Amino acid sequence: MTKMIFYYAPMTVSVAPHIALEEAGVTYESRKLDFSITEQRSKQYLSINPKGRVPSLVTDNGIITETPAILAYIAQAYPEANLAPLQDPYRFAKMQEINVYLAATVHVNHAHKIRGTRWVDDDAAISAMRAKVPQTMHESFELIENEMFVGPWVLGEDFSVSDCYLFCISLWLKGDKVDIEDFPRINEHNKRMRERASVVKVLELHGIA
């Protein structure tokens, strides 16, 4: 397998697969996109990902987009890293269950704060969506805390790519006016993640304190 290319933008959901790549110990090249000049909409990047979003991962077999897909690929392509319960279909499905929930529900809740124009053009509706974010994010993390998070890691005793993903999105809570301390187990998880060398490296690369 030749070197992969990982396209990311700082302080985005790219943090999750970035951590997973470091956890897997693979050789890859990272290419940072500058959202301030809408580099994600450039002709060159749209040839990589026509959606104009991050992350994207270029592999020997082709290009993968969407965070849950990239995370699953990393876990399956590098089984020696033990980033997923690959031999247990049920637990693998439970991992995918939380990853898809984070992508399809929680990330969308967060996006209502700054990307309301994806859904509506009316200024009042956009303002109403933005105002709802603290509530929807709190409700989502309350569900994760009480119903989905096993502990001490997301799936239990074994670290997985879901930990990379949950940690990444938990970083958004403060900006969404949600106190992470309302969720003791997720708060402890956040602290535990920050002790990992992969996380320290990626947070520095993304300029996250």
Q: What is the CATH number of domain 4-81?
A: 3.40.30.10
Question: Quick one: which of 168, 55, 163, 69 has its CA closest to 110?
Answer: 168
Neighbours of 29 (CB within 10 A): 10
Cα 167–chain centre separation: 8
pLDDT (tens digit, 9 = 90+) per residue, 170-197?
999 999 999 999 999 999 999 999 999 9
Q: What share of the chain is helix, strand, coil (3-state, %, to 5)?
A: 60, 10, 30
Confidence label for 115 from pLDDT (cuts 50, 70 and 90): confident
φ, ψ of residue 31 to 5 degrees: the values are -125, 115
Question: Quick one: which of 149, 159, 152, 164 has its CA closest to 70?
Answer: 164
* Mean pLDDT of all residues in 28-36: 95
Cβ contacts of 189 within 8 Å, gap of 6 or more: 149, 151, 152, 153, 154, 163, 166, 167, 170
* Mean pLDDT of all residues in 115-130: 90
Could you tell me the residue ranges of all domains in the chain?
A: 4-81, 89-196
pLDDT (tens digit, 9 = 90+) per residue, 128-171?
999 999 999 999 999 999 999 999 999 999 999 999 999 999 99
Q: What is the pTM of this model?
A: 0.96
Task: Tell me: pLDDT of 1 over 80.
Answer: no
Task: Tell me: pLDDT of 2 over 90.
Answer: no
pLDDT of residue 209: 83
The yes/no answer on whether domain 89-196 falls in CATH 3.30.1330.60 is: no
Burial (Cβ within 10 Å: 0-12, 13-18, ≥19) of residue 10? middle
156 DSSP β-pair partners: 153
